Amino acid sequence: MNDPHPPETIARRPIAVPPHPVWPSLSAPEKGALKQRIKALLRQQNAVLVAHYYTDGDLQELAEESGGCVADSLEMARFGSEQEASTLIVCGVRFMGETAKILNPEKRVLMPDLNATCSLDEGCPADEFIRFCDQHPEHTVVVYANTSAQVKARSDWVVTSGIALSIVRHLAQRGEKILWAPDRHLGHYVQSVTGAEMLFWDGSCVVHEEFKSVALERVRRLHPEAAVLVHPESPREVIAQADVVGSTTALINAVTRMENKEFIVATDGGIFHKMRQMAPHKRLIEAPTIGEGATCQSCAHCPWMGMNSLHNLLQLLERGDNEIEIDPAIRERAVLPIQRMLDFAREQGIGMKDKGNA
Ligand code: 13P
Ligand code: SF4
């Protein structure tokens, strides 16, 4: 497809990817005891767990069993604000904790590991991003949720993968030109669908970038009946082979909604836990990260999401450290584009758990 507006980009920066953390294995009784202890501490501390679909399956189950939630980043933001609990424990990556704190300044927001970052956030330093925006004052600044509070504070809109298409389409219909950051793959996908005029920051997700299109073609030939589900942080050639492109919620919904018995899934492997729960009889196949040029640094598992475990969650509850703090001046500005997104979602009925929005 020809781009109606060829992309203008800025230089990419290298990201150091840590090894995937390894946690001590637990017997079933040990795990059961650990979960009970964590549940008791959550009750005592009036705390609720807000977990992402990429985190460890035990954490996802614990979040649901204890009255918390497991969700995509849009729903995580919304859920935290709807809770009466005085403490939110965000099991995910740092931008998710920061978004929860920005929306809920009166609550304590804790994370099992404050070093759980994201390559998109790391690849978009606020000072350089602000310079880029200042060079293009006629553009509406739309940033992906996977960014720091400072970057959000310089934006007009925050979006997640579950709402990016709808918001950019809305802005393009109003004739607005868009400066998009930081994920160039998601940005190019949004542009290809909406036809919006867009400038791009040159960031990427180290996990999704490793999916390989030629190897995927081979896997599709081996499984011709399988539907291909792709998160839009993946490269263009991988997205081009998808039957469904969408947020983590949209991909989970696709597995339950579609008639196919087999699915090839191009996103972080943590999502398989919820997919198996929702559709135990369906066959789920990991999209390949091997093939020409493969480095398999992450091998479809986000190392930063892997920094959340039952072990450090218990330590967190025992010590009460790892609190997210946001400079009030930054918070005051960052809350506006996030709230704009949530208001838009509510008005349009977008991103509710039962809807398959991209
Ligand atoms: P979702 O909002 O689709 O859950 O995506 C978050 C993310 O970090 C994907 O890599
Ligand atoms: Fe960031 Fe990619 Fe990890 Fe999502 S999977 S948190 S985009 S590094």
Whether 84 and 125 map to the same domain: the answer is no
pLDDT, tens digit, for every residue of 257-308?
999 999 999 999 999 999 999 999 999 999 998 765 556 666 789 999 999 9
pLDDT, tens digit, for every residue of 135-160?
999 999 999 999 999 999 999 999 99
Helices 57-65 and 310-319, packing angle to 10 deg: 50
- Spell out which residues line ligand 2, taking CB within 6 angstroms: 93, 118-120, 146, 205-207, 233, 268, 302, 304-305
CATH number of the domain to which 48 belongs: 3.40.50.10800
Question: Is 15 a member of any domain?
Answer: no
Whether 85 and 139 map to the same domain: the answer is no
Closest residue by Cα to atom 8, ligand 1, is 146
- Spell out which residues line ligand 1, taking CB within 6 angstroms: 72-74, 146, 160-162, 205, 231, 233, 247-248
Contact 91, 112 (CB under 8 A): yes
Question: Is 327 a member of any domain?
Answer: no
Ligand 1 site-directed mutation target among 15, 17, 50, 52, most atoms within 8 Å of CB:
52
Distance 105 CA to ligand 2 centre (A): 25
Closest residue by Cα to atom 7, ligand 2, is 205
Please state the atom number of ligand 2 nearest to the C-alpha of residue 52: 6
Instruction: Please report the pLDDT score of residue 208 as a whole number.
Output: 95
Closest residue by Cα to atom 2, ligand 1, is 73
pLDDT at 3 over 80: no
How many domains does the chain contain in total?
Answer: 3
Whether 199 and 132 map to the same domain: the answer is yes
What band does 105 get if pLDDT is binned at 50, 70 and 90?
very high
Q: What is the reported pTM?
A: 0.94
Q: Domain residues for 46?
A: 28-116+306-322
Whether 90 and 130 map to the same domain: the answer is no
Question: Is 352 a member of any domain?
Answer: no
Whether 55 and 128 map to the same domain: the answer is no
Question: Is 178 a member of any domain?
Answer: yes
Distance 43 CA to ligand 2 centre (A): 30
Question: Is 351 a member of any domain?
Answer: no
Question: Is 45 a member of any domain?
Answer: yes
Q: CA of 334: how far to CAs of 34, 151, 152, 347, in Å?
A: 37, 8, 5, 21
Q: CA of 114: how far to CAs of 256, 304, 316, 323, 325, in Å?
A: 34, 10, 11, 8, 11
- Which among 60, 84, 88 has a CA at the least distance from the CA of 72? 60
